[in-house]
Amino acid sequence: MDSFEVNKILGAVLGTLTFVLALSIGTGILFSAHAPEKPGYELPSPAEDAGAGGAVAEAPKDEPIAVRLASADPAKGEALTKQCVSCHSFEKGGPNKVGPNLYGVIGSKHAHIDGFGYSAAMKEKHGEDWTFEAIDDFLANPKTAIPGTAMSFLGIKKADQRASLIAWMNQNSDNPLPLPAAPAPGDAAAPADGAAPAGGAPAETPPAPGEGAAPAPGTPDQPAPAAPPAPAAPAAPQ
Ligand code: HEC
């Protein structure tokens, strides 16, 4: 092998390397990766929903199902069964699929279809009725409501959607349960009533003794409380 041939081989190797280098630079320009401005993913912050310090006194997030049923829309609920029909039929006498037929399930026992292959966890609850509360919990998150359930479904996070679905499911029955009487409207919202709407300052803070009845600066218009009674004289006559 003379040196000329060695040169040719080296040249070829070098040429290939140069080509690969050029290619990688070229693709680097085409497909440059930009680091995200903020690393990580945007997740909804639960603090925003908590209503802490919020200006609007909103009802607490998950009102009791008894309250939600009063404003539930069964027609919307029927549309939501789209999420269930791959595993459940809903019509009377419908077939069991991956999950049992669900006609008339509300108000009946857990594991209500004889002969369906329920999980041990579901069978264990056979003594309990599917009340509105029980089914609301279950549909919110099956795996936490009944650990060990065979229902592979993430759950319906929106409380008003669950209410609508439950309202429809209740009608889809020979014996619909009577709708629960909603608690008095004041009950759920009561804690919010007296809260100062601005700034999140606790409304309960009483005016410091000595300040009299003068409203603290920034306090929203509220009927001024009657002047507090003069503090009891500390020195009792002897
Ligand atoms: C991936 C399949 C699947 C989906 C989707 C699904 N389920 Fe289920 N479901 C099951 C299985 C399986 C069971 C039996 C659970 C067990 O034995 O633990 C079940 C059980 C139930 C039960 C209890 C039945 C009884 O006889 O006690 C109810 C109620 C129910 N599902 C409602 C729903 C609703 C409503 C939806 C839609 C929002 C839904 N499921 C979506 C598979 C599913």
Tell me: the pLDDT tens digits for 169-188? Answer: 999 999 999 998 766 655 54
Alpha carbon distance 100, 86 (integer Å): 11
* Whether the Cβ atoms of residue 117 and residue 97 lie closer than 8 Å to each other: no
User: Which of 207, 215, 209, 214 is closest to 233 using CA atoms?
Assistant: 209
1-5, 20-24, 140-144, 210-214, range with the lowest pLDDT: 210-214
**Residue 139 CB–ligand 1 contact under 6 Å:** yes
Q: Cβ–Cβ contacts within 10 Å for residue 238, how many?
A: 3
Report how far residue 54's alpha carbon sits from residue 40's, in angstroms, rounded to the nearest whole number.
Answer: 27
Instruction: For residue 117, give the ligand 1 atom closest to its CA.
Output: 17
Q: What is the pLDDT of residue 158?
A: 97
> In angstroms, rounded to a whole number, what is the distance separating the alpha carbons of residues 140 and 218?
41
Q: Which residue has the tokens 């003794």?
A: 209
Residue 106 CB–ligand 1 contact under 6 Å: no
Q: Tell me if 45 sits within 8 A of 139, measured CB to CB.
A: no
**Do 39 and 185 form a contact (C-beta atoms < 8 A)?**
no
pLDDT band at residue 211 using 50, 70 and 90 as cut-offs: very low
d(CA 178, CA 43): 40
Structure tokens at 134: 């029980």
Cβ(88) – ligand 1 distance below 6 Å: yes
Distance 88 CA to ligand 1 centre (A): 7
Please tell me the distance between residue 113's alpha carbon and the centre of ligand 1 in angstroms: 12
Q: Is the CB of 166 under 6 A from ligand 1?
A: no
Q: What is the mean pLDDT of residues 15-32?
A: 71
Mean pLDDT of the region 127-148: 98
Closest by Cα among 238, 95, 80, 231 to 169 = 80
Q: How many residues does the chain have?
A: 238
* Listed ranges 32-41, 98-107, 222-231; the one with the highest mean pLDDT: 98-107
What is the distance between the alpha carbons of residues 145 and 155, in angstroms, rounded to a whole number? 10
Structure tokens at 205: 């803070």
Residue in 118, 113, 187, 111 with CA at minimum distance from that of residue 150: 118
Which residue has a Cα nearest atom 25 of ligand 1? 111
